[in-house]
């Protein structure tokens, strides 16, 4: 089979676009080449690494004509580390690129060329925004290493500093890397399923400054735990909770099912707007609380609540959006498939004195019809699904009961566009899309969409 380019060929190409994961895209006689590190508008020299039927991959050798938006990445392990993909492009250009990526899937997948896609709502200071870090530990050449995984691998890129996580997480990484070997604590080896310390998780509450540290170990018996607890207390004065999570499984899943308290409270307290949340070791909680408030306010604006509406919050998690909605709705019904999350949601409602919420564990496509069967009529349906998008059965449920308004919060523009097409074919009209930058310097972008039911046109 012949291609427009051949493996091991050296070419000079013009970069036209970026992929969803930040690789530059060049076209050679219509044949797409993906080149990590190249930016739109640049002329670059590349070495072709691999050719497939419709596209290939090439290595960037030289930037002949750089983009005016190219900047020097401040992180010394970029782009080896897989955490960020866009540090080599100015933040303003990142936001424009993310808007373009949403626009592209609205045109190509959703077939909605006329739907407004607004400018991305970004951050004034797009650094140190992550309130949760999951830090793996390993040993290499008799030396403890820690950092983050190289893209698409479980190979740790050793570092002491990550510019998108908290300084507390940096300080803890550096200290533990130095001390655990002295204490005789073995790091976990995923290949051999041996060792003790697997991960350290650091969570910080932005509004209260409280810090939780979770030590993920292979065994419950952890002889050195008191020494580690004391070291953490010395290193991080604002630590209010130290937990041990036990994960005995031979798996790359980070946490196990059992968590025990080593010091302080079982939870840390944070606030988004005027709503307080209790965050436990295993709670799902948005990692960028500053932008979460922007995201949820947009969802609330699209819902257009006047105080008389009954609202469904599908995929409600620990109730973060539900509690925002409850302030302006008559009632909010939240459903989530994870029972622990529902327990947290009920507790968070109680903590905030919110009494017009109802939470139920189960699959949304099974629970929502039960509510309708009991005579409930819903005015607004809010969905905030995982990256894979809405379950097909949930989309069928929405089209069966036809709530007047749907507000769709998405962390994956591609699956969002797919689901919008289905809802559009079923009688909904997408009115507008507002992207929000929850993860600066990464290729991810979240969106809030507003849809109204108008009926199926004959």
Distance from C-alpha of 93 to C-alpha of 98, rounded to nearest angstrom? 9
Scan for tokens 């739907």, then name that residue.
Answer: 115
Contact assessment for residue 35 and residue 19, using Cβ atoms and an 8 Å cutoff: no
Q: Which two tokens stand for residue 298?
A: 């947009």
Q: How many CB atoms lie within 10 A of CB 353?
A: 7
Cα–Cα dist 119/98, whole Å: 9
Q: Has 316 been annotated as catalytic?
A: no
Q: 3-class SS at 160?
A: coil
Token reading at 313: 């919050």
**Beta carbons within 8 Å of 343's beta carbon, 6+ residues apart:** none
Nearest alpha carbon to residue 244 among 197, 278, 277, 285: 197
Distance CA 222, CA 220 (A): 6
The continuous run of DSSP H or E covering 28 comes out as strand 24-28
Catalytic residue among 75, 411, 447, 449: 411
Positive or negative CA dihedral for 248, 253, 255, 256?
negative
Q: Which residues are catalytic?
A: 411
């Amino acid at each position: 089979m012949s291609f427009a380019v051949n493996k091991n060929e050296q070419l000079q190409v013009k970069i036209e676009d970026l992929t969803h994961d930040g690789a530059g895209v060049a076209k050679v006689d219509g044949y797409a080449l993906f080149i990590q590190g190249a930016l739109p508008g640049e002329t670059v020299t590349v070495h072709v690494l691999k050719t497939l039927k419709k596209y290939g991959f090439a290595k960037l050798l030289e930037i002949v004509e750089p983009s005016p938006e190219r900047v020097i990445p401040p992180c010394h392990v970029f782009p080896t580390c897989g955490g960020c993909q866009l540090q080599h492009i100015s933040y303003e250009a990142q936001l424009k690129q993310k808007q373009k990526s949403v626009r592209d899937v609205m045109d190509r997948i959703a077939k909605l060329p006329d739907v407004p896609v607004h400018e991305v709502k970004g951050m004034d200071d797009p650094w140190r925004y992550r309130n949760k870090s999951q830090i793996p530990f390993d040993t290499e050449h008799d030396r403890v290493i820690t950092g983050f995984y190289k893209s698409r691998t479980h190979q740790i890129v050793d570092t002491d500093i990550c510019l998108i996580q908290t300084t507390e997480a940096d300080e803890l990484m550096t200290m533990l890397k130095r001390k655990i070997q002295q204490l005789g604590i073995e790091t976990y080896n995923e290949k051999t399923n041996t060792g003790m310390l697997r991960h350290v998780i650091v969570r910080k509450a932005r509004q209260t400054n409280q810090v939780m540290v979770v030590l993920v170990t292979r065994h419950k018996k952890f002889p050195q735990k008191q020494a580690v607890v004391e070291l953490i207390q010395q290193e991080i004065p604002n630590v209010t909770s130290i937990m041990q999570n036990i994960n005995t499984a031979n798996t790359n899943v980070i946490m196990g099912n059992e968590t025990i308290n080593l010091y302080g409270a079982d939870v840390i307290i944070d606030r988004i707007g005027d709503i307080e949340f209790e965050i436990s070791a295993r709670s799902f909680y948005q990692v960028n609380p500053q932008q979460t408030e922007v995201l949820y306010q947009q969802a609330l604006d699209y819902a257009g609540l006047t105080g008389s509406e009954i609202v469904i919050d599908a995929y409600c998690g620990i109730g973060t959006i539900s509690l925002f909605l409850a302030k302006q709705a008559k009632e909010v019904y939240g459903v989530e498939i994870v029972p622990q999350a529902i327990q947290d949601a009920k507790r968070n409602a109680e903590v905030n004195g919110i009494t017009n919420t109802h939470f139920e564990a189960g699959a949304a496509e099974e629970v929502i019809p039960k509510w309708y069967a009991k005579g409930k009529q819903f005015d607004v349906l809010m969905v905030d699904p995982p990256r894979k998008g809405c379950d097909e059965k949930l989309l069928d449920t929405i089209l069966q009961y036809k709530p007047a308004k749907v507000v769709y919060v998405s962390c994956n523009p591609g699956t969002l566009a797919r689901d919008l097409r289905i809802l559009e074919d079923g009688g909904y009209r997408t009115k507008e899309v507002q992207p929000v930058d929850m993860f600066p310097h990464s290729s991810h972008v979240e969106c809030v969409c507003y849809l109204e039911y108008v009926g199926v046109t004959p």
